[in-house]
């Protein structure tokens, strides 16, 4: 029995060592390395389950599980228990590479993995359900001997990646050498496609170029000639445009993650009976100008291989673009045709110079002799015929404001109310005084005292006059609109309770049915303006709409402005005005002056300035 147990143990260890040896020599991706490495460790130490987790070296960072063995127990309670033991296991492994968690039954064994990365803390935790403590310590020794494999794995991958990069760089240089030997675009494109097809075991490699907003197939590996109207070629162009529209590498895999739209790629793969299709855009100055599509039925394109294909395309796009531009494209043939036609007319030498001179002559003749309507530009403001200034009739305090600037009002609408409390008190006092004088007059009349009657009548008339004056002021304390219009000036909503003096301007109300346009024409341009001249205006509130105007009056005197003197020109609106127009709106006007040449239009201001400057 003892011999059988020893043989089983040796066989078990031999299987573990073989598994570890395979992990050492195979170039595995991290997503495959860690599960296989954990499974070998668990098998070597006879643990029931195991977990490898990693976290940052800073305190407070969370653990991230990167492998669990066996994978079938990933979601069972034991897996959750393993995660809860990570912090305690990390504390136990601070001084030693491996440790048994004290006071735990069943036993938990932890070992710190050597990864060569100082910014990470990698920990492997194992659970032993039926082992005794001595067996657990033996497992700790085994794990301590095998925890350096991740460091070797990292070194091996770094060496492998460095060798792969060197081979990729050499391959790119070889391809560019072959392409530089070509002096025509199609031959360089065919070389590019053929070389990539042979190096990556592709059935076909196709190159499409951007033309008039669409991708057009230019070359297909090992195909010297093809009909661009074939269904297969048009379907291939749709595949390329799918990558062009998304500006991304499109990799068709059996299990697609849905990150990009691959409908055309899938249809093309089914039609051609290939399992793997990859499209890579060729960019120049950040813009996609071409797309290269790879087809392979044997094996899928790896991530490293896609990066290599991207490198090939990025290095070759400049050479292909240069050949595309200089390889007798349509524009170059058109230029040569025009030059041949112009040679008999302009001589044998300097054809382009003479053609340019003739073109400039035509432009100058058009500039100097062909008349155009000169449009005189000036600011415009909308005015109204009648504007009423409403002032404070009496002194007092503002009690109520019913309108704001821009409000439309009808005739008789209340605009503002002054405080009437004092006037009401004064009215009551005067009414009482009038009644008293009335009674005294009646008493004197009853006593037949003629002198007292005359005095009482005079006092009664005086009190009645004062009472009428107070009532007149009460009527004046309510300010109303004299006509229908719009409030142009006077925003007093924030001055309620403020005092006003008699004669202070409170509102300015203008009519909205008699609007006209007032132009401010510069003094240097006023001689161009005539009566009955027409033009157009555009207001700042609606710059996209224009309205016809006609000059009806020119003010004889100038108005001083900061920019210089201007003349006010009144214009009527033949087509009427819109309901949203308000007095005070501004804009730009253009009057149709006399016909002038472009030379005069662009230089007359400078000429006038020089005349005044150097006049003597």
For the stretch 580-595, pLDDT in tens is: 887 788 999 999 988 8
Q: What is the token pair recorded at 128?
A: 């032993």
pLDDT confidence of residue 7? 57
Judge if 178-326 and 514-613 fold alike in CATH terms: no
Summarize the confidence of residues 304-325 as an average pLDDT: 88
For the stretch 423-461, pLDDT in tens is: 788 778 888 888 888 888 788 887 777 777 788 788 878
Judged by DSSP in three states, 568 sits in strand
Position 485 confidence tier, pLDDT thresholds 50, 70, 90: confident
In this structure, are strands 564-572 and 515-522 parallel, antiparallel, or unpaired?
Answer: antiparallel
pLDDT confidence of residue 256? 52
pLDDT confidence of residue 114? 77
| Top-tier CATH class for 2-147 | alpha beta
pLDDT confidence of residue 194? 92
> What's the CATH number for 178-326?
3.30.450.40
Report the C-alpha gap between 39 and 51 in whole angstroms. Answer: 10
Summarize the confidence of residues 141-159 as an average pLDDT: 75
Query: Which element (helix H / strand E) includes 39?
Result: helix 30-45
Task: Please answer whether residues 582 and 486 qualify as being in contact, where contact means their C-beta atoms are separated by less than 8 angstroms.
Answer: yes
pLDDT confidence of residue 588? 93
Task: Please answer whether residues 530 and 392 qualify as being in contact, where contact means their C-beta atoms are separated by less than 8 angstroms.
Answer: no
pLDDT confidence of residue 409? 77
pLDDT confidence of residue 8? 56
Decide: residue 1, CB within 10 A, 0-12 exposed, 13-18 middle, 19+ buried. Answer: exposed
pLDDT confidence of residue 165? 72
Q: Give me the sheet containing 478-480, strands edge to edge.
A: 478-480, 414-418, 396-401, 499-500
378: left (phi over 0), alpha (psi -120 to 50) or beta: beta
Position 289 confidence tier, pLDDT thresholds 50, 70, 90: very high
For the stretch 57-91, pLDDT in tens is: 666 677 888 888 777 655 556 666 667 777 777 77
- Which has more pLDDT, 114 or 281? 281
Position 333 confidence tier, pLDDT thresholds 50, 70, 90: low
- Which has more pLDDT, 510 or 260? 260
CATH match of 514-613 with 2.40.30.170: yes
Q: What percent of the chain has pLDDT over 70?
A: 87
- Omega of the bond prior to 194 within 30 degrees of 0, cis? no
Judged by DSSP in three states, 566 sits in strand
pLDDT confidence of residue 219? 92
Whole-number average pLDDT of the chain: 81
The domain limits of the chain are: 2-147, 178-326, 390-507, 514-613
For the stretch 344-380, pLDDT in tens is: 666 656 667 777 888 888 888 888 888 888 899 999 9
pLDDT confidence of residue 550? 92
Query: Which residues share a beta bridge with 52?
Result: 67, 124
Position 1 confidence tier, pLDDT thresholds 50, 70, 90: very low
Is the predicted pLDDT of residue 173 greater than 50, yes or no?
Answer: yes
295-298 contacts at long range (C-beta below 8 A, 24 or more positions apart): 295/202, 295/203, 295/204, 295/205, 295/206, 296/200, 296/201, 296/202, 296/203, 297/203, 297/273, 298/201
Q: What percent of the chain has pLDDT over 90?
A: 15
- Which has more pLDDT, 257 or 292? 292
Q: Give the residue carrying structure tokens 């072959």.
A: 178
pLDDT confidence of residue 12? 65
Report the C-alpha gap between 483 and 459 in whole angstroms. Answer: 41
Position 92 confidence tier, pLDDT thresholds 50, 70, 90: confident
In this structure, are strands 478-480 and 414-418 parallel, antiparallel, or unpaired?
Answer: antiparallel
For the stretch 11-69, pLDDT in tens is: 666 777 777 777 776 667 777 778 888 888 877 777 777 888 888 766 667 788 888 87
Is the predicted pLDDT of residue 469 greater than 70, yes or no?
Answer: yes
Q: Give the residue carrying structure tokens 């031959």.
A: 187
Is the predicted pLDDT of residue 529 greater than 60, yes or no?
Answer: yes
Task: Please answer whether residues 588 and 538 qualify as being in contact, where contact means their C-beta atoms are separated by less than 8 angstroms.
Answer: yes
Q: Is the four-CA dihedral 252, 255, 258, 259 of positive or negative sign?
A: negative
* Beta strand spans in 139-271 (E): 204-211, 214-220, 250-252
Give the single-character DSSP code of 217.
E
pLDDT confidence of residue 241? 93
Residue from 222, 263, 229, 220 nearest 245 by CA = 263
For the stretch 97-111, pLDDT in tens is: 777 776 555 567 788
For the stretch 563-585, pLDDT in tens is: 889 999 999 988 887 878 877 88
């Amino acid at each position: 029995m003892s011999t059988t147990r020893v043989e089983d143990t040796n066989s078990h260890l031999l299987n573990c060592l073989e598994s570890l040896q395979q992990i050492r020599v195979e170039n595995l991706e991290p997503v495959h390395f860690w599960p296989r490495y954990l499974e070998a460790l668990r098998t070597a130490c006879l643990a029931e389950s195991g977990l490898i987790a990693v976290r940052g070296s800073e305190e407070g960072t969370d653990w991230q599980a990167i492998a669990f063995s066996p994978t079938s127990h990933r979601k069972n309670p034991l897996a959750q228990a393993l995660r809860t033991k990570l912090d305690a296991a990390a504390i136990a492994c601070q001084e030693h590479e491996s440790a048994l968690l004290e006071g735990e039954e069943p036993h938990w064994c932890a070992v710190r993995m050597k990864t060569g990365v100082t910014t990470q803390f990698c920990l492997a935790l194992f659970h032993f359900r039926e082992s005794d403590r001595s067996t657990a310590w033996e497992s700790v020794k085994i794990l301590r001997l095998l925890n350096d494999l991740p460091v070797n794995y990292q070194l091996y991958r770094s060496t492998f990646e460095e060798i792969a990069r060197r081979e990729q760089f050499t391959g790119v240089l070889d391809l560019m050498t072959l392409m530089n030997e070509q002096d025509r675009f199609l031959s360089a494109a065919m070389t590019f496609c053929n070389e990539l097809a042979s190096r990556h075991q592709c059935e076909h490699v196709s190159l499409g170029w951007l033309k008039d907003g669409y991708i057009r197939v230019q070359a297909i590996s090992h195909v010297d000639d093809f009909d661009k109207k074939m269904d297969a070629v048009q379907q291939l162009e749709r595949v390329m445009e799918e990558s062009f529209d998304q500006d991304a590498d499109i990799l068709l895999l059996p299990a697609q993650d849905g990150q990009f739209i691959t409908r055309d790629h899938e249809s093309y793969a089914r039609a051609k009976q290939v399992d793997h299709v990859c499209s890579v855009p060729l960019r120049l100055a950040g813009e996609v100008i071409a797309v290269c599509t790879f087809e392979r039925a044997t094996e899928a394109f790896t991530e490293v291989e896609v990066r290599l294909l991207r490198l090939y395309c990025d290095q070759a796009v400049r050479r292909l673009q240069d050949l595309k531009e200089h390889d007798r494209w349509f524009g170059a043939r058109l230029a040569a045709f025009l030059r041949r036609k112009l040679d008999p007319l302009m001589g044998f030498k300097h054809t382009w110079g003479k053609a340019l001179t003739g073109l400039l002559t035509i432009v100058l003749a058009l500039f100097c002799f062909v008349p155009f309507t000169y449009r005189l530009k000036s600011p415009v403001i909308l005015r109204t015929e009648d504007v009423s200034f409403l002032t404070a009739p009496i002194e007092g305090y503002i009690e109520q404001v019913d309108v704001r600037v821009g409000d439309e009002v009808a005739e008789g609408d209340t605009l503002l109310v002054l405080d009437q409390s004092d006037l009401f008190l004064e009215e009551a006092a005067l009414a009482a005084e009038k009644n008293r004088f009335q009674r005294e007059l009646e008493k004197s009349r009853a006593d037949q005292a003629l002198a007292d009657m005359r005095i009482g009548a005079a006092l009664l008339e005086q009190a009645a006059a004062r009472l009428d004056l107070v009532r007149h002021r009460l009527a004046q304390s309510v300010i109303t609109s004299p006509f229908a219009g719009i409030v142009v000036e006077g925003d007093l909503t924030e001055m309620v309770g403020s005092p006003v003096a008699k004669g202070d301007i409170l509102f300015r109300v203008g009519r909205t049915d008699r609007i006209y346009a007032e132009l401010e024409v510069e003094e240097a341009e006023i001689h161009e303006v005539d009566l009955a001249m027409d033009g157009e205006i555009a207001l700042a509130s609606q710059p996209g709409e224009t309205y016809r105007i006609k000059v009806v009056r020119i003010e004889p005197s100038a108005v001083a402005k900061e920019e210089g003197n201007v003349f006010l020109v009144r214009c009527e609106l033949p087509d009427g005005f819109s309901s949203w127009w308000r007095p005070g709106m501004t804009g730009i006007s253009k009057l149709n002056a006399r016909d002038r040449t472009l030379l005069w239009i662009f230089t007359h201001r400078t000429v006038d300035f020089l005349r005044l400057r150097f006049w003597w």
